[in-house]
Amino acid sequence: MIEVRDINKSFDGQQVLHDISINFEHGKTNLIIGKSGSGKTVLLKCIIGLLEVDSGDIFYSGQCFTTMGQKEKKQIRQKFGMLFQGAALFDSLSVEENVRFKLDMFTGMSNAEKKERVNFCLTRVDLEGKNKLYPSELSGGMKKRVAIARAIVLNPRYLFCDEPNSGLDPQTAILIDKLIKDITEEFNMTTIVNTHDLNSVMEIGEKVVFIHEGWKWWEGTNKEILETENNELNDFVFATRLVKQLKNIDEI
């Protein structure tokens, strides 16, 4: 479980996050949603420690991450898996080398064991046989799947995904969502997904947190989101004419 307590963050005197407290549940896909510029990426970067919070604490399974030394932070980060918005694959490495990177760096596995593990992860994301390709030879969806394979290679306890569906067509986006949900259950991880894709909310949002102008505005499940009376959340969810029409049809 990841606990976020009273987090505040500002840049050049402008406060971006205000007293955010959230419990991200273990074994579930937790979603952070909100408009562009609402502060959800800053929140995710604070949670994983890429940005330092001004005040507040973050706990990983009860261990306070914010007050940890660099050495302890490095150790806990080895339990992280991260899927970046642009996949962030290492350009100079092949698909296999990208996925194998953490095995090379942090384990004493033999080459045969590493190969087996890499192939398992690539098969898990339906990319078997693509070992020798380079990131420049992959489509957007394939890059995301390689990034997922790289994220799960060391059996992480925590998985973070920043806008996993950005730039993908709807069908591929659904595949990526399903993959994230499946591996969360399979590897029994705590997963946090940062998104503004409503399809993702409905497909995989076991717990949803809505961030509005840097405040935690609403918290619930994907079922509850359709029935909420929260005006800002309704404005966000039913922003398009199509969704509004669907809601009206549903109500009729």
* Shortest reach from residue 118's CB to another protein, in Å: 15
Cα 212 → chain centroid: 19
Q: Which is nearer to another protein, 106 or 188 (CB)?
A: 106
Cα 12 → chain centroid: 27
* Shortest reach from residue 241's CB to another protein, in Å: 33
* Shortest reach from residue 84's CB to another protein, in Å: 5
Q: Which is nearer to another protein, 143 or 216 (CB)?
A: 143
Q: Where do runs of H (alpha helix) occur along 53-197?
A: 70-77, 95-106, 111-124, 140-152, 170-186
Q: Which is nearer to another protein, 159 or 179 (CB)?
A: 159
Query: Which residue's structure tokens are 């991200």?
Result: 24
Q: Which is nearer to another protein, 167 or 220 (CB)?
A: 167
Q: Which is nearer to another protein, 78 or 123 (CB)?
A: 78
In the chain, how many H helices and how many E strands? Answer: 9, 10
* Shortest reach from residue 80's CB to another protein, in Å: 5
Q: Classify burial at 250, counting beta carbons within 10 Å of its beta carbon; exposed 0-12, middle 13-18, buried 19 or more.
A: exposed
Q: Classify burial at 132, counting beta carbons within 10 Å of its beta carbon; exposed 0-12, middle 13-18, buried 19 or more.
A: exposed
220 vs 38, 161, 180, 192, 207, CA distance in Å? 18, 19, 20, 14, 6
Q: Which is nearer to another protein, 37 or 170 (CB)?
A: 37
* Shortest reach from residue 208's CB to another protein, in Å: 24
* Shortest reach from residue 182's CB to another protein, in Å: 22
Strand pairing of 29-33 and 207-212? parallel
Query: What residue ranges bind another protein (CB under 8 A)?
Result: 48, 50, 73-78, 80, 82, 84-86, 88-91, 101-102, 104-106, 160
